[in-house]
Chain A
């Protein structure tokens, strides 16, 4: 369909008749500011083409201009299938519809009323709405070709449009109604048992196989329990069999061990008898041996007592003979001891001689020492006197030197330096005039440092200085005044005066301000001071930490002591004593007296010892004699006691022989019994006990086996009574039946699933056949607008764009996630591709109402170029409030609604 012209009246903002056209075959830009009625014109065209003229309701009432009771009218001139038509409709009041066809030079009526409505819709493949106004779903191809204001997205395509597009793409893939019914039935069959996500349904609507599987699982659990029960039956049976075998074996073991035990018991009894007899015999041996031993001891004791009596008697006789010689020796020893004591007293009486010699020697030593010390002290005192005389002379010389202290000398040096600096500053602050006269002349200094008259000699330079000026008068020449920068000359002078005063203060006591002289004096004074110091050190050294008075006192004491000694020993006044001689005499006296004493003491000790020995010998002799007498008495008493058994010695020896024979007989009997016991080897009582214990243990085992057998047999009977195999058989059969049924059901479910999935796959392949070309064209257009950011646009089976595939990755992205501008461009590309693919056989009207509100200027420029190219295949109507964006398109035809409205106004 190609739109040729449009005329509206009584239609919203167009209360007056408003004509638009004729429109060109290519690009038409209808523009005007907001509210001028661009979109109203589009909606008027759709109402005229697709709606019943009799439509009522609130929606159609909204077409009326505000506050006006007019009849909305629309007239559309269009071309379709090579013919030119005109549809005219009036709504609300006296609605009419009239379809005309251009014949020769005028429009001839073709249909009116509902027929006109229907025929127009039929031409445009549009659907009739059930009631009310049409919406985009009823617009036929215009769903794709016409985009309402700001909305390029196609939300839904009607089945008719979709099929028309598919048919346009190839009749071979179109489905018959029968095919669709079968497909529907396959879907129904599939979704009877599957959820939308492809899983088997659960709950009340679950397929039968689900309940069969549940039954199978429950039955399998029961099967497991029964299998365990059956295994338990067999295990218990085996356990009973094992127990029975074990019991039989144990019974055999018990019989065997019982026989061994009985044999061992008999041997044990015999062994015990022998052992008892042995013990009895041992007792007899012990008794016989005791009697024999006792008699032997008696005989031996008697013999010993007889011998001892003889020996003691002989001993006493010998002691009695030794008595007199011992007494004589004692007397001799007493006399010798007395003589030794006397000799010792005589030697001891010479001891004072030694003390006198020692005393004289000490005095001689003391005298010699006192004289020696006195000599040294007197020499020291003489040396000290000489040094002190020298010191007095040097001190006198030091008193004569007037030298400044070091601190004072530094102060003078500092003041002189400061004065030099102050003088320099003052000199610098004074104005200086130098005169070098060529002849002698007189100068009167009026202002300067030295005012007054001065006479100058030829070729003799003079300098005049002063501050703040130097003024002088040269006779015959004039008064010359020299000025300079004013400074603080006075303060500098004061500073210099203060320094001079300080210098005078420091040097006046010294009698000179000559710094060199003062330094020389200081050096001289230092030299004399060092000499005084050395002399003082010498005196201190001589005194050796003593003072002079002490030294003199010691000298007096020593002299007094010497006099005192000489008074006690007058012979030493003439002849000085020889200490060594005195000391030798003393030692000789000492040795002589000590030797005599030592000999006397030794002799006395020997005499005393001999006396003591003699006394002791006498005492021992007396004691031994008494002991021997006593022992003689005791031995006699013991012998009397031993002979008191009423036997003679010969009888006593016969009895001893008899007892020896008794003992030998008993020992022989015991040896015989021990031989019998040795024949048994180990004690048979031990073996008997072990076998007895084994028997008891085996009897315990047998009782335990019996108890276990009863218990296990009872359990086996109970298990057998439950008939686990028979029950398991029915359970296994149920499982077999259920598995078979499940297999059948599963095969059917798999078959339905395969039917559905294979059908879906076929449908998708067919859809791909349809969508493929659309997708290619749309993607190409999008890449021209946006560039290479997206490589593909995906379309749903309903032929609508749904996703884009970015170049950066392989995951498709929903269009909803793109920016507003990108969405516009994707939907535009999709519409253009659908239009290109589906309607390439006939030029069609494409309407875009303000469709690129979010698109940036560069993209819009590329879209404009694409639209210009598309205009060779389509009639394009752009409704826009920005006509300048399309001005560069040379073949576009522009319609200014404001201008048209102004021309149309009466």
Chain B
């Protein structure tokens, strides 16, 4: 038995903090869905399991439902889907759309009952509401099953303190399953092993990354099980199209920012990269222009780029900020702003005059000084 395990496509999801490229992010999730089907075809998979949250919400555009149905309909083998907590099986849900009946290979499993699948038996755990403290796999008992028994569920492995749809980490062993395909976590997790060290329960993660700092996402799992009781062979295959990159840089030396810019300019495929750069550390007078340039590079070259320099501030004792300024009001002004940009400054401070604003004011002052000296 060989099949593709995927989950959490979150089709139609919103992408709030990526500026104007939200629509592109959504389109990419459909494209990634097509790549999943293609991958399954290339790998001669017997079927595809989609372990919930195919859609971000039941109130997504019906056109998206049609598109997803059509994409999955292109697969040569059967596709088994369960409703997740984002798209539970309720009246008016995406699962009432006619597309699910227009393709013979599509099987939306609405009841927790064993289903015959190529080479074995599938134990689906569809969800009917968004939240529940119950283990959706609790009903499964495949211990007396002769054929390969596969579970399909959506919930939180009982590692943390999440209360929605808790699934014990030993659920597969307890239920007598050869493999339990899970959805809900967006990052791949194949760390659940049984007593023999075999991995019989895994999260495939989302097929396309949904946000920054979402490690191990953008993949599907190819599962191969030779026969009942044998450990599954698990392989992760890349399906994601976008690269969500986060860079946290602590700036110390005067040339650090320039070096960072060079490093960023060297990134490959910037048109498919969403880049978020967060800077902390010391701001040097000469870095002001470099910082502006770096922001321009980030914003213009990448699919989406954002530079967060709020963590940068001048060093309080750095006299170089004042050296080249004219004496009198301006120099005293710069000194005062330097004080305000220091987070440990204990003097009087207007509410709006945060260290970030003070740093920005210093940069504005330097820009005006440059203009005045031209």
Q: Assess the A729–B91 pair: CB atoms within 8 A.
A: no
Which A residues are CB-close (under 8 A) to B358? 751, 754
Q: Which residue of B lies closest to A188 (CB)?
A: B368
The smallest beta-carbon distance between A721 and chain B, in angstroms, is 6
B332 within 8 A of A: yes
Q: Complex: how many Å from CA A803 to CA B369?
A: 36
Q: Assess the B59–A751 pair: CB atoms within 8 A.
A: no
Which B residues are CB-close (under 8 A) to A753? 352
The smallest beta-carbon distance between A235 and chain B, in angstroms, is 10
Q: Complex: how many Å from CA A619 to CA B357?
A: 147
Proximity bits, A729-746, B CB within 8 Å = 1, else 0: 110110111001000000
B90 within 8 A of A: yes
The smallest beta-carbon distance between A791 and chain B, in angstroms, is 27
The smallest beta-carbon distance between A864 and chain B, in angstroms, is 42
Q: Assess the A755–B372 pair: CB atoms within 8 A.
A: no
Q: Complex: how many Å from CA A598 to CA B340?
A: 152
Proximity bits, B205-217, A CB within 8 Å = 1, else 0: 0000000000000
Query: A240-B91, A244-B91, A762-B336 in contact; A723/B329 too (CB < 8 A)?
Result: no
B23 within 8 A of A: yes
Q: Which of A188-242 contact B (CB under 8 A)?
A: 189, 230, 233-234, 236-238, 240-241
Q: Give the segment of B13-21, B166-174, B187-195, B283-291 that binds chain A.
A: B13-21
The smallest beta-carbon distance between B331 and chain A, in angstroms, is 8
Q: Give the segment of A69-77, A169-177, A326-334, A654-662 that binds chain B.
A: A169-177
Proximity bits, B352-374, A CB within 8 Å = 1, else 0: 11101110110111001101110
Proximity bits, A709-732, B CB within 8 Å = 1, else 0: 000010011011101111011101
The smallest beta-carbon distance between B58 and chain A, in angstroms, is 7
Query: A181-B372, A723-B62, A754-B352 in contact; A237/B327 too (CB < 8 A)?
Result: no
Query: A723-B59, A751-B361, A754-B361 in contact; A182/B17 too (CB < 8 A)?
Result: no
Q: Complex: how many Å from CA A747 to CA B329?
A: 23
The smallest beta-carbon distance between A185 and chain B, in angstroms, is 5
Q: Assess the A238–B327 pair: CB atoms within 8 A.
A: no
Q: Assess the B61–A726 pair: CB atoms within 8 A.
A: yes
A410 within 8 A of B: no
B337 within 8 A of A: yes
Q: Assess the B364–A752 pair: CB atoms within 8 A.
A: yes
A645 within 8 A of B: no
Q: Assess the B22–A733 pair: CB atoms within 8 A.
A: yes
The smallest beta-carbon distance between A348 and chain B, in angstroms, is 130
Interface centre among A720, A721, A747, A763 (most CB of B within 10 A): A720
Which A residues are CB-close (under 8 A) to B92? 233, 236-237, 240, 713, 716-717, 719-720
Q: Complex: how many Å from CA A173 to CA B326?
A: 12
Q: Assess the B16–A736 pair: CB atoms within 8 A.
A: yes
Query: A233-B92, A750-B352 in contact; A182/B326 too (CB < 8 A)?
Result: yes
Query: A726-B64, A748-B364 in contact; A754/B90 too (CB < 8 A)?
Result: no
Q: Which residue of A lies closest to B97 (CB)?
A: A720
A183 within 8 A of B: yes
Q: Which of A713, A730, A737, A755 touches B365 (beta carbons < 8 Å)? A: A755
Which B residues are CB-close (under 8 A) to A178? 326, 330, 372-373
The smallest beta-carbon distance between A674 and chain B, in angstroms, is 59
Q: Assess the A176–B327 pair: CB atoms within 8 A.
A: yes
Interface centre among A189, A236, A758 (most CB of B within 10 A): A758
A179 within 8 A of B: yes
Q: Complex: how many Å from CA A717 to CA B357?
A: 50
Q: Which residue of A lies closest to B14 (CB)?
A: A729
Q: Complex: how many Å from CA A230 to CA B14?
A: 14
Q: Assess the A726–B59 pair: CB atoms within 8 A.
A: yes
Q: Which of A233, A732, A758, A762 touches B59 (beta carbons < 8 Å)? A: A233
Which B residues are CB-close (under 8 A) to A750? 352-354, 357, 360-361
Q: Complex: how many Å from CA A183 to CA B369?
A: 9
Q: Assess the A175–B328 pair: CB atoms within 8 A.
A: yes
A881 within 8 A of B: no
Q: Which residue of B lies closest to A176 (CB)?
A: B326
Q: Which of A719, A758, A766 touches B337 (beta carbons < 8 Å)? A: A758
Query: A181-B372, A182-B372, A747-B357 in contact; A740/B329 too (CB < 8 A)?
Result: no
Q: Complex: how many Å from CA A235 to CA B9?
A: 25
Proximity bits, B65-93, A CB within 8 Å = 1, else 0: 00000000000000000000000001111
Which B residues are CB-close (under 8 A) to A728? 14
Q: Complex: how many Å from CA A762 to CA B331?
A: 10
The smallest beta-carbon distance between A186 and chain B, in angstroms, is 6
Q: Which of B20, B61, B328, B336 touches A723 (beta carbons < 8 Å)? A: B61
Q: Which of B22, B91, B363 touches A237 (beta carbons < 8 Å)? A: B91
B224 within 8 A of A: no
Q: Assess the B368–A238 pair: CB atoms within 8 A.
A: no
Which A residues are CB-close (under 8 A) to B20? 733, 737
The smallest beta-carbon distance between A632 and chain B, in angstroms, is 106
Which A residues are CB-close (under 8 A) to B371? 185
Which B residues are CB-close (under 8 A) to A748? 360, 364
Q: Which residue of B lies closest to A174 (CB)?
A: B328
A759 within 8 A of B: yes
Q: Which residue of A lies closest to B90 (CB)?
A: A237
Which A residues are CB-close (under 8 A) to B332? 762, 765-766
Which B residues are CB-close (under 8 A) to A752? 361, 364
Q: Complex: how many Å from CA A717 to CA B56?
A: 18
Q: Assess the B59–A720 pair: CB atoms within 8 A.
A: yes
Q: Assess the A720–B364 pair: CB atoms within 8 A.
A: no
Q: Complex: how many Å from CA A179 to CA B369?
A: 9
Q: Complex: how many Å from CA A182 to CA B369?
A: 6
Q: Which residue of B lies closest to A733 (CB)?
A: B22
Which B residues are CB-close (under 8 A) to A241? 90-91
Q: Which of A174, A730, A751 touches B364 (beta carbons < 8 Å)? A: A751
B57 within 8 A of A: yes
Q: Which of A189, A233, A716, A759 touches B333 (beta carbons < 8 Å)? A: A759
Q: Assess the A733–B60 pair: CB atoms within 8 A.
A: no
Q: Which residue of A lies closest to B59 (CB)?
A: A725
Q: Which residue of B lies closest to A716 (CB)?
A: B92
Q: Which of B56, B306, B327, B336 touches A758 (beta carbons < 8 Å)? A: B336
Q: Assess the A754–B327 pair: CB atoms within 8 A.
A: no
Which B residues are CB-close (under 8 A) to A721? 62
Q: Which of A729, A747, A751 touches B22 (beta carbons < 8 Å)? A: A729
B155 within 8 A of A: no
Q: Assess the B90–A238 pair: CB atoms within 8 A.
A: yes
Which B residues are CB-close (under 8 A) to A724? 59
Which B residues are CB-close (under 8 A) to A713? 91-92
Q: Assess the B327–A732 pair: CB atoms within 8 A.
A: no
Which A residues are CB-close (under 8 A) to B14? 728-730, 732-733
Q: Assess the A751–B357 pair: CB atoms within 8 A.
A: yes
Which A residues are CB-close (under 8 A) to B328? 173-176, 179, 766
B12 within 8 A of A: yes
Q: Complex: how many Å from CA A740 to CA B276?
A: 14
Q: Which residue of B lies closest to A230 (CB)?
A: B59
Q: Assess the A751–B62 pair: CB atoms within 8 A.
A: no
The smallest beta-carbon distance between B295 and chain A, in angstroms, is 10
Which A residues are CB-close (under 8 A) to B26? 729
Which B residues are CB-close (under 8 A) to A761? 336
Q: Which of B57, B91, B327 touches A716 (beta carbons < 8 Å)? A: B91
Residues of B at the A interface (CB closer than 8 Å) are 12-20, 22-23, 26, 56-64, 90-93, 306, 326-333, 336-337, 340, 350, 352-354, 356-358, 360-361, 363-365, 368-369, 371-373
**11 additional contacts (CB under 8 A) given A723-B60, A737-B20, A747-B357:** A175-B330, A186-B368, A233-B59, A720-B59, A720-B92, A747-B356, A754-B340, A754-B353, A755-B337, A759-B330, A759-B333
Which 10 residue pairs are nearest across A and B when measured between Cβ atoms? A729-B14, A240-B91, A725-B59, A736-B16, A723-B61, A716-B92, A733-B22, A751-B360, A725-B57, A751-B361
Residues of A at the B interface (CB closer than 8 Å) are 173-176, 178-179, 181-183, 185-186, 189, 230, 233-234, 236-238, 240-241, 244, 713, 716-717, 719-721, 723-726, 728-730, 732-733, 735-737, 740, 747-748, 750-755, 757-759, 761-763, 765-766
